[in-house]
Chains A and B, each alone.
Chain A
Amino acid sequence: EPEVTQTPSHQVTQMGQEVILRCVPISNHLYFYWYRQILGQKVEFLVSFYNNEISEKSEIFDDQFSVERPDGSNFTLKIRSTKLEDSAMYFCASGPFRGEGLETQYFGPGTRLLVL
């Protein structure tokens, strides 16, 4: 069964460094998402992406964050200058379509980011 994959599974970085988290969505999916989950907290929406542009973003997704689909398979989340509070599990998700409530989002296993 097709799955969303994410790399790396764990990343440790120093505060102020740039990190890029990578995702390979399910191949025929058109809609892509990033979420994060700070330890012990709720899963929070960051951004949705369709047709090579951001379709929605949350207040968390400020100028330090960017997303890109550099080729036909990868979907990346970049954090330009990491802060301690960016430490979290980051989940990528994809969906085949976005209808009136019909769609399911498929989540990857996550990248655990630790900022020191």
Chain B
Amino acid sequence: KQEVTQIPAALSVPEGENLVLNCSFTDSAIYNLQWFRQDPGKGLTSLLLIQSSQREQTSGRLNASLDKSSGRSTLYIAASQPGDSATYLCAVRPRGSQGNLIFGKGTKLSVKP
């Protein structure tokens, strides 16, 4: 059964720092991996999607990598800002699924001004 784990559970950094969030999954048979952002009491905003055949995706200050064989993904945030404070969720779509996403519990990021 696919399990997704995210560490750390919480992270606090000063503004301007570069940081890395980690995601691991137990079964490498996936179609894709997505990173989402969740603000308190709000929905999920898709940040980046990496197909299983890709190694990384970039969007602005965000860069996500995928190492499918080792079951790992990282989300790199450059020059963090207080507005980046949120919970970041990683989710995989298992191969053979009909769209079912399996989520990690998230990393709660706090960027201090």
Contact = CB atoms under 8 A, between A and B. Distances in A.
Interface of A: 4, 31, 33, 35, 41-45, 48, 50, 55-56, 58, 91, 93, 95, 98, 100-110, 112
B43 A109 contact: yes
Interface stretch (B15-23, B76-84, B90-98): B90-98
Interface in B64-113: 89, 91, 93, 97-106
A108 B102 contact: no
A106 B100 CA distance: 13
Nearest to B44: A107
19 contacts: A31-B99, A41-B105, A42-B103, A42-B104, A43-B101, A43-B103, A45-B100, A45-B102, A48-B98, A91-B43, A100-B31, A101-B93, A103-B32, A104-B34, A105-B34, A107-B45, A107-B46, A110-B42, A110-B43
Contacts of B32: 101-103
Question: Interface SS of chain B: helix, strand, loop or mixed?
Answer: strand
Given A106-B46, A110-B43, A98 B99 contact: yes
Interface residues of B, number: 29
A108 B105 contact: no
Contacts of A48: 98-100
Contacts of A91: 43-44
B24 interface: no
Nearest to B53: A101
Nearest to A110: B43
A71 B103 CA distance: 30
Contact of B46 (A35, A41, A50, A105): A105
Given A101-B51, A104-B34, A56 B46 contact: no
A87 to B, nearest CB: 15
A83 to B, nearest CB: 23
